[in-house]
């Protein structure tokens, strides 16, 4: 009789746990769906839509993978190849096909960076209204709202800028905007993938923006397997659960290393 009662208790416990897991998954899926359905995620952040620093005059505009013009599709392909082919090496032909499919997926969200035309009037420079006039596109961000480790995250697929506007703090501004968008939409973290060979990008994210190598990155999951991979997965978590699931391994290894050298 006692064993039967124990079995009944365990069955109830398992049922309760399954219900909790399913409910959590439902909530996470709801957050992702709500964030993905926003018509204009940039609308809540007007202070980020214009950039007039470092000798640049730019404006930002959102977009979707399914609504890219032919010109923008070609531009995205060209800029990604221009900036990234060198870091992928022999892997590039295969990776390029993957990226071409990803860029037009229904889940793909974009931030496009445009130059703002300047006209001369009465010997003074005057900015033309950005609502009606845009110059050349000079960069973009491709991001998505997805589930990772049972958590809602904003995943940055691409952040690509023309060489002429790199190194002028625009990348930092765009990442700050993405963090605002992620928090506004109740995402638990921001994640992205960086090629190991792209040392400047790795330095930018880890040293300047405070991202860390995620515990789900190949080098953290299995260092031996990680050696054969050409990339790392970086993350910045916004709450304790996300830190535990996405960052904790890195901190544990750091503490272990400190004890060994102490």
From residue 242, give the alpha-carbon distance in Å to each of 184, 208, 236, 253. 16, 21, 9, 17
Backbone angles phi, psi at 253, to 5 degrees: -65, -35
Q: How far is CA 118 from the centre of its chain?
A: 32
| Confidence (pLDDT) at 262 | 42
Q: Own/partner pairs for 34-43, CB < 8 Å, 24+ apart?
A: 34/185, 35/145, 35/152, 35/154, 35/185, 35/186, 35/187, 36/107, 36/109, 36/144, 36/145, 38/185, 41/109, 41/181, 41/184, 41/185, 42/111, 42/177, 42/181
Residue 257 has pLDDT above 50, yes or no: no
Please report, for the chain, the start and end positions of each structural domain, with discontinuous segments joined by +. 2-85+108-179, 188-262
| Confidence (pLDDT) at 54 | 84
What average pLDDT does range 9-17 have in this prediction? 69
Higher-confidence residue: 75 or 260? 75
Residue 12 has pLDDT above 90, yes or no: no
| Confidence (pLDDT) at 134 | 78
| Confidence (pLDDT) at 129 | 44
Higher-confidence residue: 142 or 248? 142
CB count within 10 Å of CB 259 equals 8
Residue 78 has pLDDT above 90, yes or no: yes
| Confidence (pLDDT) at 8 | 63
| Confidence (pLDDT) at 18 | 75
pLDDT, tens only, 80-134: 999 999 999 999 999 999 999 999 999 999 999 999 987 655 555 554 444 456 7
pLDDT, tens only, 198-250: 999 999 999 999 999 999 999 999 999 999 999 999 999 999 999 999 996 54
| Residue 103: partners with Cβ closer than 8 Å, 6 or more residues away | 65, 68, 73, 76, 77, 142
* CA–CA gap between residue 78 and residue 257 (Å, rounded): 43
Residue 1 has pLDDT above 70, yes or no: no
What average pLDDT does range 131-153 have in this prediction? 90
- Mean of the per-residue pLDDT values of the chain: 88
What average pLDDT does range 171-198 have in this prediction? 98
Q: Answer yes or no: CATH 2.60.40 is held by domain 2-85+108-179.
A: no
pLDDT, tens only, 20-31: 677 888 999 999
């Amino acid at each position: 009789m006692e064993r039967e009662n124990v079995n009944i208790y365990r069955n109830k416990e398992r049922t309760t746990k399954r219900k909790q897991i399913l409910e959590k998954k439902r909530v996470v899926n709801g957050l992702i769906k709500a964030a993905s359905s926003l018509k204009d995620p940039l609308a809540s952040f007007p202070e980020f839509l214009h950039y007039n620093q470092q000798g640049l005059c730019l404006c930002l505009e959102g977009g979707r993978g399914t609504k890219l013009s032919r010109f923008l599709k070609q531009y995205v392909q060209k800029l990604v190849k221009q900036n990234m082919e060198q870091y992928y090496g022999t892997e590039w032909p295969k990776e390029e096909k993957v990226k071409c499919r990803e860029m037009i997926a229904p889940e793909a969200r974009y931030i496009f960076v445009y130059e703002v035309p300047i006209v001369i009037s009465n010997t003074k420079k005057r900015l033309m209204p950005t609502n009606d006039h845009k110059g050349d596109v000079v960069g973009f961000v491709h991001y998505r709202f997805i589930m990772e480790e049972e958590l809602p995250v904003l995943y940055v697929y691409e952040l690509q800028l023309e060489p002429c506007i790199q190194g002028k703090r625009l990348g930092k501004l765009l990442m700050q905007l993405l963090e605002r968008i992620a928090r506004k939409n109740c995402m638990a973290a921001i994640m992205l993938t960086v090629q190991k060979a792209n040392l400047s990008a790795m330095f930018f994210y880890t040293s300047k923006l405070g991202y860390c190598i995620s515990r789900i990155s190949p080098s953290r999951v299995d260092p031996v397997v990680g050696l054969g991979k050409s990339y790392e997965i970086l993350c910045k978590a916004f709450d304790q659960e996300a830190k535990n699931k996405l960052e904790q391994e890195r901190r544990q290894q750091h503490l272990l290393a400190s004890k060994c050298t102490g």
